[in-house]
Amino acid sequence: MRDSKVRVAVLVSGGGTNLQAILDYIEAGKMPDGEICAVVSDNADAYALERAKKHNIPALTLLRKDCDSKEDYENKLLALLRDHGTEVVVLAGFMRILSGEFVSNFEDRMINVHPSLIPSFCGKGFYGLHVHEKALEYGVKVTGATVHFVNSIPDGGQIIAQKAVRVHKNDTPETLQRRVMEQAEWKIFPKAVSDLCRKIRKGKK
């Protein structure tokens, strides 16, 4: 149906806190133009899969060890996404770097959130707590989160939204990570997904 909701697949590797933020946003009626059609993980033990099941969303696992090569993995992942009619791909703590060839299937329709103000503390090797460790090591007074489109360069796609968060004097990587999630990631990421769905749905009409 031309005016149906935009189908969003979320790729995850761990706990799925950003997935939960998106689910909460949907439940609050703030994403009228999009729906999650599948949650896919490269980790069979990812708690994010339980979050998906609780919301009756297909929770799928695709393990790298079950594939012959990175190319084989990406081909199977693409087939999985297409089987679920995916129009938008959201990377919510997905720990695999996807090839430019794979990303090109979802040009301007694949987004990620990164726990710093890009271009600071980003790129290959900067993920999870490591980002916050580096921010504290460097002594920055302000950090934050960035939502960006995904391209072939890690954290190199066009910036969609950013939100700054203050660094406190007694912060540890863990306390800073939590504040960045609560004050930045969980606010700008769901909104960015919703805005993208609105734009795509409008284009369908």
Q: Which residues of the chain have pLDDT under 70?
A: 1-2
130 is catalytic: no
The answer regarding whether domain 6-204 maps to CATH 1.10.3720.10 reads no
Q: What pLDDT does residue 125 have?
A: 86
Could you report the per-residue pLDDT of 43-68, keeping only the tens digit for each?
999 999 999 999 999 999 999 999 99
Single-letter amino acid, residue 160: I
114, 130, 148, 168: the catalytic one is 114
Res 1: pLDDT: 53
Q: For position 195, what pLDDT does the model report?
A: 98
Residue 3 has a pLDDT of: 73
Domain boundaries, the chain: 6-204
- Cα 202 from Cα 205, distance rounded (Å): 6
